[in-house]
Amino acid sequence: MNTHPLPGETAKQDSDVILVLAPRGRDKRTLSATLADYGDRVRDCNDFEAFIDGLDNAACGLAAAQSLGTRECERLAAWLREQPMWSDFPFIILNGASGPPTAVESLGNVTVLERPLRADVLRRAITAALRARDRQYQWRAQLGHQGDVEEALRVLNDTLESRISLRTQDLARANDSVMKEVRAREKTQDALAQSQKMESIGQLTGGLAHDFNNLLNVIMGSIELIDRATEDARIRRLAGNARQAVLRGARLTSQLLAFARSQTMDLRVTDVNELLSGMRDLLGLSLGATVKVVTYLDPSVPKAIADANQLELAILNLGINARDAMPGGGTVTLTTSLRRGSGDLPEGAYVVIAVADTGSGIAPAALSKVFDPFFTTKPVGKGTGLGLSQVYGIARQSGGTARIESELGKGTVVELWLSVAAADDQAATESPDATPSTQGNGDATPADILVIDDDHIVRNLIVECLQSLGYQVRQAADGESGLRLLKERAPDLLMVDFIMPGLNGAEVIERVRADLPDLPIILATGYVDAQVSAVLLRNELLLQKPFDIGDLAAMVRQALRRE
C-alpha cells in the first residue's frame, strides 16, 4: 500500500521483497529450492554491492555469514544509521562453520540461524521478519508528527524486544530439536556400522573355522584308523598325543565359531540370578584373593533364554579379563537388571548382566575393536584375543548382544543382553542330545549308507571309517550326483555335509524329505548357522566336526534305530 511520508521523508512504496545474498555453492541451491514458494518476491544478489544497493526497496535481508566480513557489516550499520526512526530493518544470517562475524551485533534486529538448516525454521524466520517490517510500515502510516513518531517507536521497540525474545526461544527450541536428531542419527549409524563389521568378521571367521574343522576331522579319523590297526605301544602313544593336539585345535575352532554365532547352542529358559549366585565360589577361586567379587542381583528380573554352560563360560571370561585389568587387585561387580532393547536390538524386554571392574580401563581407540577375534590389549603370550569375541558370539547367538563402556583410569563395564523368556516357555530351541562316544566294534547291522561331501579327503576318510565298522557305503561329491544315486537305490541312511558348492546340505535334505520323509539323515558339519539350525528344528541329527570313529559309530546306530 502507499502511505503518507513523514516530514523530511520521500514517499515510497511499501516493500515485501526478500533480498538474498548467498552467491555461491550449496547455500545458493538450498535457498533457491526453499524460497521457491515466495515467487518473484525473492531477489538474488550476486555480490555485496548489489545487496546493499537493494536494501532500500526490500522488506528483509537474508545473507550467508561467509558473505559478510567486518567491513561489510560496518557498511550495513552505516546504512541503518541513515534510516528513519520508525525503521528497524530485519536481517537473517545463515551461520557458517566459524560462526557469524562479531560486527553482526551492530546490525540490531538480527536473527542467526544455525546449521544444519531446516526449511521450516528458515520459513518461520522469514515470516516473522516480514510481519515485523509490515508493522513498521503500519506505524509509519499512523504517525503524524515527530512526537508521535518518538512515542510510537518506543512502544514498537518494547514490543519488538518481546517478539524477538519469543522468536529466539522458538528458534532455539527448533535448533535443539535438530541437534538431538543429528546426534540420534549419528548414534544409530555408528551402531549399524559396528554391527555390519562384526557380521562380516563373523562370516569370515565361521568359514575359516569350517575349513579348519574339516582338516582336523581328517587328522582325527586317520589317527583313529592307525590306532585301531596297530598293537605297537609306541605308535599308539604317539597317536594319543596327536589326538590331544586335535582336541586342542577343536577347542580353538569352537571359540571362533562362538564369535561367528555358528556353534551348537542348547538354548533353554535360564534363571540368571540363580546362575550367578552359583558362580560366586568359582569366580572367587578363579580371580584370586586380591579381587573382591560383589553381586547386586535384582530379584524381579525374569528368566532369560540362554545356554547356561556357555553363559557361565562368558561370565568367567569377563571375570578373568577384569582380574587381568587390575594387577594390584580391585573389585568385580556383577549386576542384573531388566531393560528395553535399543540400537542394534529389536524392541522388547532384555535381561542385562553387567560385569564391572575397577581396573585401568581401555583406550578409546581400542574400544571399538575389543570384540574382534584375535584382538587383545594384553602382552604377547598373555592371551589369544578370543575371550571377548567368544562372549560377543554367545550373546548374539542367544538372541541378544554384548556392549562395553570403558574410561581410562576408572574401569570397564561389559553388558550381556539376553532375551526374556516368554511366560509359557518350558524350553527354547533344543539341541539334539549328545550321544556318548563309544568305540565301534565292527558288529554293525548291515546297512547301506550314502555319503555326500564335496571334500574328497574328508569323504574318503568317512567312507573308510564306515566300512571299517561293517557298513556298505556309496559316495557322491556334490548334492546333485548324490540325489541321482539316491533315486537309483534308496539307502538305509544318508550322511551329508552342509557347506558344498551347488546344493548345500540343507537343500539336499529338503529335496530328500519330499520323496523319502522317513529316511534317517545325519548332517555332518563344522559350521552351524541359521539355516542349519532350521534343519535341526525338523529333528535331523547333527554330527559336529571334528569327530572320532566312536562318535561316528554312535551317531549311525542312533540314526538307524530311529528308522
Whether residue 291 sits in one domain with residue 410: yes
Last residue of a domain, one of 59, 82, 117: 117
Is 17 strand, coil or helix? coil
Residue 213's pLDDT band, with cuts at 50, 70 and 90, is low
The C-alpha cell at 473 is: 557305503
Position with higher pLDDT, 209 vs 64: 64
Q: Which of 50-59, 135-144, 255-264, 362-371 has the highest mean pLDDT?
A: 50-59
Whether residue 454 sits in one domain with residue 408: no
Position with higher pLDDT, 104 vs 44: 44
pLDDT at 359 over 70: yes
Distance, CA of 350 to CA of 348 (rounded, Å) = 7
**Does some domain include residue 239?**
no
**Does some domain include residue 171?**
no
Q: Which helix (H) or strand (E) holds 14?
A: none
Count structural domains, the chain. Answer: 3
pLDDT for 337 equals 94
Position with higher pLDDT, 265 vs 429: 265
pLDDT for 383 equals 42
pLDDT at 554 over 80: yes
Question: What is the DSSP-derived secondary structure letter of residue 2?
Answer: B
DSSP states of 404-465 as a string? EEEETTTEEEEEEEEEBPPTT-S-SSPPPPP-------S-PPP-EEEEE-S-HHHHHHHHHH
**Does some domain include residue 146?**
no
**Does some domain include residue 153?**
no
What pairs with residue 415 in β-bridges? Answer: 354, 403
The C-alpha cell at 548 is: 572320532
pLDDT for 19 equals 93
pLDDT at 451 over 90: yes
pLDDT at 311 over 70: yes
Whether residue 377 sits in one domain with residue 466: no
The answer to whether the CB of 224 falls within 8 A of the CB of 246 is: no
pLDDT for 390 equals 72
Residue type, 14: D
CA contacts within 13 A on the Cβ side of 186? 6
pLDDT for 531 equals 47
Contacts of 369 (CB under 8 A, 6+ apart): 375
241-245, 394-398, 413-417: which has the minimum mean pLDDT?
Answer: 241-245
Whether residue 546 sits in one domain with residue 479: yes
pLDDT for 491 equals 92
pLDDT for 202 equals 54
Position with higher pLDDT, 441 vs 43: 43
Which residue in the block uniquely carries the three cell numbers 547301506? 448
CATH number at 92 reads 3.40.50.2300
Average pLDDT over residues 198-203: 57
Q: How far, CA to CA in Å, does 394 sit from each of 83, 302, 321, 345, 551?
A: 74, 20, 16, 15, 25
In terms of Cβ atoms closer than 10 Å to its own Cβ (0-12, 13-18, 19+), residue 155 is exposed
Q: Which of 232-241, 307-316, 510-519 has the highest mean pLDDT?
A: 510-519
**Does some domain include residue 46?**
yes
pLDDT for 257 equals 54
pLDDT for 377 equals 53
pLDDT at 240 over 90: no
Q: What percent of the chain has pLDDT over 90?
A: 17
CA contacts within 13 A on the Cβ side of 386? 14
**Does some domain include residue 183?**
no
Whether residue 470 sits in one domain with residue 362: no
Q: Which domain holds residue 529?
A: 448-561
Q: Share the mean pLDDT of the chain.
A: 77
CATH number at 388 reads 3.30.565.10
Beta strands 268-270; 304-306: pairing state: antiparallel
Alpha helices by DSSP H, listed for 325-381, are 364-367
Q: How far, CA to CA in Å, does 269 sit from each of 293, 393, 424?
A: 26, 19, 10
pLDDT at 525 over 60: yes
pLDDT tens digits, residue range 487-522? 999 999 999 988 788 888 888 988 998 888 889 998
pLDDT for 145 equals 56
Q: Which of 79-93, 168-182, 395-409 has the highest mean pLDDT?
A: 79-93
**Does some domain include residue 62?**
yes
pLDDT for 441 equals 42
pLDDT for 400 equals 85
Whether residue 371 sits in one domain with residue 484: no
Distance, CA of 88 to CA of 136 (rounded, Å) = 8
Residue 237's pLDDT band, with cuts at 50, 70 and 90, is confident
The angle formed by the CA atoms of residues 114, 82 and 167, to the nearest 5 degrees, is: 30
16-25, 345-354, 435-444, 533-542: which has the minimum mean pLDDT?
Answer: 435-444
10-24, 57-71, 454-468: which has the minimum mean pLDDT?
Answer: 10-24
The answer to whether the CB of 354 falls within 8 A of the CB of 413 is: yes
Residue 53's pLDDT band, with cuts at 50, 70 and 90, is very high
Whether residue 92 sits in one domain with residue 38: yes
Residue 32's pLDDT band, with cuts at 50, 70 and 90, is confident
99-113, 330-344, 365-379: which has the minimum mean pLDDT?
Answer: 365-379
pLDDT for 335 equals 94
Last residue of a domain, one of 99, 117, 135: 117
Last residue of a domain, one of 378, 401, 419: 419
Is 231 strand, coil or helix? coil
pLDDT tens digits, residue range 250-309? 666 665 555 444 445 567 888 999 989 888 877 887 788 888 999 999 999 999 988 887
**Does some domain include residue 359?**
yes
Whether residue 496 sits in one domain with residue 554: yes
Whether residue 464 sits in one domain with residue 390: no
pLDDT for 256 equals 55
Whether residue 388 sits in one domain with residue 452: no
Q: Which of 244-248, 249-253, 557-561 has the highest mean pLDDT?
A: 557-561
The C-alpha cell at 266 is: 542348547
Position with higher pLDDT, 349 vs 422: 349
26-35, 74-83, 374-383: which has the minimum mean pLDDT?
Answer: 374-383
pLDDT at 470 over 70: yes
Q: What percent of the chain has pLDDT over 70?
A: 75
Whether residue 331 sits in one domain with residue 469: no
pLDDT for 334 equals 94
pLDDT for 495 equals 92
The answer to whether the CB of 209 falls within 8 A of the CB of 257 is: yes
Position with higher pLDDT, 132 vs 169: 132
Whether residue 487 sits in one domain with residue 380: no
pLDDT for 550 equals 80
The C-alpha cell at 254 is: 569352537
pLDDT tens digits, residue range 373-408? 545 554 433 443 345 777 887 787 777 888 888 888
Buried b (16+ CB within 10 A) or exposed e, 383-407: bebbbbbbbbbbbbbbbbbbbbebe
